[in-house]
Amino acid sequence: MQWTTAERYTRIEETTKEELQQLAEQVNACPWRQTYHIQPETGLLNDPNGFSFYNGEYHLFYQWFPLGPVHGIKYWYHTKSKNLINWENAGVAIRPNDDIDSHGAYSGSGIEHNGNLYLMYTGNTRDENWVRHPKQNIAVMNKEGIIEKWPLPVIDQVPDGYTDHFRDPKVWKENNMFYAVIGAQRTDKTGCVVLYSSPDMRDWTFEGEIQTDLPDFGYMWECPDYFIVNGQGVLAFSPQGIAPDGDNYHNIYQSGYVLGKLDVKTKTFTHSFFQELDRGFDFYAPQSMEAPDGRRIMVGWMGLPEVDYPTDQHGWAHCLTLPREITVENGKLMQRPVRELTEKRGTRMEAKAVLKNETKTFESFSGTSYELISEFNQIDAESFGMEIRVSETEKTILMYDAVQKKVVLDRTNSGAPSGTKYGTVRKCFLDAEQVKFHIFVDTSSIEVFVNDGEEVFTSRIFPRENSTGIRFFANGGSVSCHAVKWTIGG
């Protein structure tokens, strides 16, 4: 279905309860609804926003167009949790109903200040000639959960030298000063990040562009995030317009990071090379926050712009990834599922075997949503791994190619196709004597943490409901396999 501009800019306030109920019934009948991931009640979810801890709870907002699986006028939707695993829908947080955000409440971030949660976001506005004029706005949530927008933008204009692609402020506090990085596009159509400062979250000063060693790296940098973990500065962002290079950059748009140290005085960032955050098919626009215990937690959008998904025909699209604990070890950003997820473990099953030129199933190993850890050692096989969501016609393959030293995720036969224009196989290099796959499977997704988070593959898959099998295999030799599986409770 093709959506007109008028339909994309229809507001939820302009629809009837009956229309919304009909859409909700269509969505709930979809066979690919997730069981333990954050997903929209209807319509389209995209970037995570405002991720923060405030008043004893984690707060996570996301971009939302409620009326269908397209990028229409964006609201902020609010979810909250006391433990990062059980999320409660709290309703619409920011409505794009004012002059400062008339054509959408775009992405932004949250920070506690003066006893309230300050949400800084980009207001998308357009003039009578449909020319975009982005505004950087503030909405404030109090301890009762009431959110009020400030009537005027705190950053009203785009600085000289940049186009109207100027959005997604991420705020942090350093030495009693607030700073925000904003994703930008120079007038020469190259991407970058700029820096603002403020003593009070109200009056913002343009400090300038952050100087990096990536002067011509894509045409737009979206959703920047700067934070320090393990004493190491991390600049994460989502560059658009990067050409594939070997096993890298095969999605329509990428998300990655550089390690270094940002000097806010000189606006320079001396850094390592750009590395992808996730090697899978569906990961974009991540955002991080600091938990009360000091952990750095990241959540990403499990989807990509401008890609059709099989759930579109059911009136909804996309979900968020599971929260991940972020550390920096030996010059690399490591990602592990938050430890709280162990609380969702239900029935436990365990199996051990030596696989030799064979494919093997284990009793009670099947399902459509579960957590599974597979450890492979004593490797003498050319390739080995596992197949999940298996039936006679469908399977998703996760394997290690010991000859090429690569992890491979193959969704060629995973079910209903998605994004096949960009290929059906993803790979990355991993030189390892032992291989551990820690996976979370939900109705229509798989998240793979390789060797305790050294690499991560996040992907949507759309198999039939009867594709429930799990198989383990070794080719060209033998490997020892130890697998533990848990059902996932509510």
Residue 490 confidence (pLDDT): 60
Q: Where are the beta strands (DSSP E) in 175-231?
A: 177-186, 191-198, 205-209, 220-229
Euclidean distance between CA atoms 437 and 387, whole angstroms: 12
pLDDT band at 45 (very low <50, low <70, confident <90, very high): very high
Instruction: Point out which residues pair with 147 in neighbouring strands.
Output: 141
Nearest to 23 by CA among 354, 315, 386: 315
> For 373-419, how does the pLDDT look when each residue is reduced to its tens digit (9 = 90+)?
999 999 999 999 999 999 999 999 999 999 999 999 999 999 999 99
401 is catalytic: no
First to last CA, the chain: 35
* pTM for this prediction: 0.97
> For 167-195, how does the pLDDT look when each residue is reduced to its tens digit (9 = 90+)?
999 999 999 999 999 999 999 999 999 99
Handedness of CA 278, 283, 284, 290 (dihedral sign): negative
The Cα-based distances of 95 to 21, 73, 76, 86, 139 in angstroms read: 20, 10, 7, 25, 11
Residue 489 confidence (pLDDT): 76
CB 434 within 8 A of CB 376: yes
Instruction: Point out which residues pair with 334 in neighbouring strands.
Output: 327
Residue 199, pLDDT > 70, answer yes
Task: For each of the domains in the chain, give its residue range(s) and CATH number, in order of start.
Answer: 5-27+35-337 (2.115.10.20), 341-488 (2.60.120.560)
CB 91 within 8 A of CB 80: no
What six digits make up the tokens of 251?
């999605």
